């Protein structure tokens, strides 16, 4: 059985605002780099630029939901994406 491709994504939380219910940060995986805003009050995730967004958006949202209360501004985090970037 062949192994599925894996890529490590690196995430940095830049800002967090509980009154606006949003989290802002940067994420990189492979040669791709994105900026994201997670409006957790509305359950919406915005990822820019659009290049490669489809590769990271679902995995990023799952990570954010699972790690929700452990994320802090200035924190660096990593998670694995089941795809080759």
Assigned domain for 2 exists: no
Give the confidence band of 1 by pLDDT, cuts at 50, 70, 90: low
Residue with tokens 């599925």: 4
37 lies in which domain range?
7-81
**For 15, how many CA atoms within 13 A lie in the half-sphere containing its CB?**
11
- State pTM to two decimals: 0.90
Assigned domain for 76 exists: yes
Mean pLDDT of the 21-39 span:
96
Strand locations in the chain, DSSP E?
7-17, 22-29, 32-39, 44-48, 76-81
SS3 74: coil
Number of domains comprising the chain: 1
What angle is formed at CA 67 by the lines to CA 61 and CA 73, rounded to 5 degrees? 95
Q: Which of 21, 62, 54 is nearest to 39 (CA)?
A: 21
Assigned domain for 36 exists: yes
Assigned domain for 56 exists: yes
Number of helices (H) and strands (E) in the chain: give both, helices first. Answer: 1, 5
Give the confidence band of 4 by pLDDT, cuts at 50, 70, 90: confident
Give the confidence band of 15 by pLDDT, cuts at 50, 70, 90: very high
Assigned domain for 15 exists: yes
């Amino acid at each position: 059985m062949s192994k599925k491709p894996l890529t490590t994504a690196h995430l940095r939380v830049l800002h967090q605002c509980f009154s606006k219910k949003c989290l802002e940060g940067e994420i990189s995986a492979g040669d791709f780099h994105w900026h994201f805003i997670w409006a957790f009050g509305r359950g919406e995730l915005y990822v820019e630029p659009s290049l490669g967004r489809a590769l990271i958006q679902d995995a990023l949202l799952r990570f954010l939901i699972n790690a929700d209360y452990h994320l802090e501004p200035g924190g660096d985090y990593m998670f694995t994406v089941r795809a080759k970037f």
